[in-house]
Structure 1
Amino acid sequence: MARIHPTAIVDPAAELAEDVEVGAYTLIGPEVSIGSGSRIGPHCVIEGRTRIGRDNRIFQFCSLGAAPQDKKYAGEPTALSIGDRNTIREFCTFNLGTAQDAGVTRVGDDNWVMAYVHLAHDVQLGSNAILANNATLAGHVHVGDWVIVGGLSGIHQFCKVGAHAMLGFQSHVSQDVPPYMTVSGNPLAVHGINAEGLRRRGFGPARIARIKQMHRLLYRDGLTFAKACEAIGTLDGEDEAGRDDVALMAGFLAGATRGVVR
């Protein structure tokens, strides 16, 4: 039987795995499902069509699955989906999706989400990301795997942040951030590639050299954006992983919708 504090209110229609823990004064709505091994702290509100996977740790005072802060929302049956093994610290707010987009706000696996982080409607957050305190992701933002978002950073609606990018403290993101880059400031500026992060994740010298080459083409060689994209598209990695890096960058640049920070 799930370990539910006697002061918590869990709707009988909610689906909780047998070993889920629910803290004092937490409220869980009828369309919520929570997977095995997850622990929900006290004073949380989890509502809407919210699915929470396995082995998540959700700390006190979080609001998950509330209606989106979008005036167009008219009660459509949208959703929030949270994967496995995420840590979600105090006072985080994750909203439902909207009918104007995918209809679901999605969080992947193994993310480390610090206090006061806000994920607005239709955010698509990958896996293994770190979002520091007070990071704010507006509606329709896409963030790739292994991204680090510094504290007090804001990401404008519809922006995309590519995998392995690092956003420094108080970054003001109003354009798309390509994969592998380190950026910070207001106005936002690119300061090179996230070399240390890549090394920690097992990227070898050849892969890092190819990523540096893509950075030079995009930011250092004086090429127009179109010419830089063309040059990056002709690169070939030394192995499958290197080719995947080139394909990731080329695909991201081709799909940029708000312009790329340069």
Structure 2
Amino acid sequence: YDAQEHEVFFSEFESLVTALDPSVSLGAAPDPLNPTTYYAGVPLPEWTPYTDSLVRGTTYYWRAVEYDSNGVDWPGPVWSFYVALDNASNPRPADNMINVGYTPTLRWGAGAKEIYNAPHVHQVYFGTTWADVNSASEGGPLHRATLPWDDTDWEPNSNGGLPPLDPNTDYYWRIDEKHGTFGPTVKKGDVWTFKTVPEFPIGDPNLINWWRLNEGIGPTAVDRSGYGHHGDRAPGSVQTGVWSLAVTVITRSTRMPSSTSTV
């Protein structure tokens, strides 16, 4: 089809954009010579009805509709973008997560750059008390790494050089965003925390795995046999009940029954 007209819908509410609600329409393009160029967050009502500044930490949704010569509308897909916060955000493991493994990878969302292409690094702080991590400074013992802007993950045990984390222990971490070379500015991050998997004594030497699968939250299927055969829960999995699976010593010829459910 030959698009004759365009209309863009824009909002922080995905449902309104999906429904092509007239209240979030930006109308026709402000410049007839550039019919596929629209503006939002610009304080110029002659350019856009969306004159409010965009808000950091917010996801915005938009959708373009084209109309052919017969007036038939052709809606496009819903797209989105995220306006980054000044400071680091979206920690993984999530803040206050439990049952985290002993060799985790810490990830986060980068804070916004002050100036495009300006130097921007992440400073990683990691320790076992909130107060120490909160007050830690650049170059101190808890300043574990300085990473480039496009590197937003850090492994305490691998590139951090630390031994495996202790069982059943609270750990704290912080990411500061440092901008600029001369007279740099630092956006201090929040202190996040997680707790590692507990340690269990070996009660039955013949019981090599025991997953109760009732942790509720956390990335780990905890092995309570004492042998530490913890598993990873599938991304996006949701606990819908309480189960228990025990595996005793097996020989090479032993066959295990299959299940229609995912364990």
Fold match by TM threshold 0.5: no
**TM-score (structure 1 length as normaliser):** 0.23
**TM-score (structure 2 length as normaliser):** 0.23
- Higher RCO structure, 1 or 2 (CA under 8 Å, sep 6+): 2
Structure with the bigger percentage of strand: 2
Structure with the bigger percentage of helix: 1
